[in-house]
Structure 1
Amino acid sequence: ALAELADEWKTFRWDGLRVLISAGKPDKRRIFFKTLEKLGTVEFFGSLADDKDWADRLESEAIRQLRAAGKTLADDAVAELVTRVGPNLRSLANEVEKLVLYVGDRTEVSLADVQVLTPLQKLAEAFALGEAVGSRDLVRSLRVLDEELWVIRTGTDKKRSEIGLVYGLISKFRLLLLMKELRRTGLIKPARDYNAFRTQVALIDQSELPADKRFNPLAGNPYPAFQALKQIDRWSSDELVHAMDVLLEANIQLVASGLDEAVVLQRAVIEIVGTKDAEMATA
């Protein structure tokens, strides 16, 4: 049917007429799409989440907007703001406006300001548990886990599941392990901010990194790797390996044991983060 419509449009007289079509993820191989490209103008408005450099763009935009308001943003506050907002420029503009109003006459927006005022946006919530556990913050980890379980059990977000939380933590600890190894070999050094980290990444000989993207933490968006780099000193290599073992066991229990999912996940988080070590890490 679309092919027939495309044939008709090729011979149709468009004098004084305009047609506006909006669609998500069109198939560029189709005759209808190719006809539209020839007859009119096709524009793409892709999601910022599809851009591997979204964190860099978001950081630059946040700094630009705050400077326009006569404010500066501390380095650690920039990273926290990007983490909480996620790849969403509209949400960023809203949060920047709130921060400007909140700080009043102060010229610098601090990390504490961002933590108090900026909530986790929907696109950033998926990383919240991994970031809390990666930071060895037991209180925050259990709170975020409880929030995630509430969303799952109330059906608020059908895409989330208990097993998905485990897979997300596995990805986080695999990243921590890989970044710790890169630090050990000297390929990556501590970075004071995200820009300094990106400069390091750009200078690395890619032949020294794994060809398989699953084992190359710098193959995609480097921002998660930057976050992990800030966290690896809180973990020994043995602790990271142990965390993977705990998550594997939690995976098995969720699938085969019939135990309450909340209990399985809470035990796993507490065993991974610990109590005494967690207190020392966050002190």
Structure 2
Amino acid sequence: MSNLPPVALLLGDESFLVDRELKAIEAASEITSPEDMNRQVFDAAESNVGEVVNSAKTLPFLGSRRLIIVKAVDKWSASQWDTLTAYLEKPNPSTTLVLIAEKIDKRRSYWKTLKKSAHIVECVKPSDSELTGWIRRISQEAGFEVGANVAQSLVLRVGPDLQLLYREILKLQAFAGDKGRVTVEDVEVLVGESRGTTVFVLCDALGMRQLGPSLKALRKLLELGEAPVKIVYMIARHFRILTKARYLKERGGRVNPGEAASSLGVPPFVARKAMDQAAKWSWDRLDRVVRELLHADYMLKSGGKEEVVEKLVIDLCT
């Protein structure tokens, strides 16, 4: 971000992307120290909008720019936004005002002002089908290339957590060196299996109705400290994908991986596996899966723990 805008809005609930954009703004402004007198941070839930505006209007002290960061601006009332809107229409050119919000009511009049006056960056987590593209783009920015199969392998081993994925991308960057690229084999050697990996292994084994591998993956997940409620959530998510895949198969005709991926909202390599697994599940059995998942959820909320998930896995495979 070479030319800093007077107002920036970081919009979305993916904290990793918000932090990444904020660091880029700080670096471009050359105001990176929390102690810098030209840097001020507000929490909108606790700060008066008038304080923010006064700070933004203040001229830099022994510097060329001020950086004002306001978190959780979605907590402000309409009247508070009215006060800020007057500033947004004529912002101080020597200040960069960074507004951070998980969501904004786009029906409000201040949204029109934001669109006109602010540099807006969407900080929304990529969908499952977009993750491999995100990995390839971030890797390219880091100075090395990864193929689609390498990105897919990374997702399988790490899971969808952007912070963890970025950490592994930096590790691969150091390994790539002058070669400028890495292979699937490099990923398998350098990237350890995580809870996310084991969840995918468990879900794939359940999708194939393989009891032994399912129980093995479940035990490993529990040993890694994964919460039973999170495991049940991921199993439920997987069976929602399989149910959609079953619908696709029954439409008739050949469904290519690209179409399946788009319909299921997952990467093509996941879509291929889902279509194969869906063939093993009748509609009657999928109806039972819903009841078994609801029962497991109820038992977990009633105080059950590991034994509830183990029974669910056994029931799903039989």
- Output the TM-score relative to the length of structure 2: 0.53
Q: Deviations over 1:194-253 (max 9, x none)?
A: xxx27984xxxxxxxxxxxxxxx55xxx32575143232134363575255245335425
Matches within 5 A, 1:54-203: 54-61=130-137, 64=140, 73=147, 76-85=149-158, 86=160, 87-88=162-163, 90-97=166-173, 100=176, 109-110=183-184, 112-120=185-193, 129-131=202-204, 133-134=206-207, 141-150=214-223, 161-186=227-252, 189-191=255-257, 197=258, 201=262
Letter of the structure 1 residue corresponding to residue 309 of structure 2: L
Aligned to 1:262: 306
Quick check: 1:173–1:244 contact (8 Å CA) kept in 2? no
Question: Could you tell me how far apart the structure 2 residues matched to 1:137 and 1:114 are?
Answer: 27
- Structure 1, unaligned stretches of length 5 or more? 153-159, 192-196, 202-216, 275-283
Distance 1:145 1:35, change over 3 A: farther
Distance 1:247 1:113, change over 3 A: farther
Distance 1:134 1:91, change over 3 A: farther
Distance 1:244 1:121, change over 3 A: farther
Letter of the structure 1 residue corresponding to residue 281 of structure 2: D
If asked which structure has higher relative contact order (CA below 8 Å, sep 6+), I would say 1
More strand by share: 2
Aligned to 2:44: none
Aligned to 2:69: 22
More helix by share: 1
Calculate percent identity across the aligned residue pairs.
18
Quick check: 2:53–2:84 contact (8 Å CA) kept in 1? no
Equivalent of residue 234 in structure 1, options 277, 282, 301 = 277
- Structure 2, unaligned stretches of length 5 or more? 1-46, 99-118
Question: Could you tell me how far apart the structure 1 residues matched to 2:128 and 2:87 are?
Answer: 29
Partner SS, residue 67 of structure 2: coil
Q: Deviations over 1:27-56 (max 9, x none)?
A: 276437546643333366654625676414
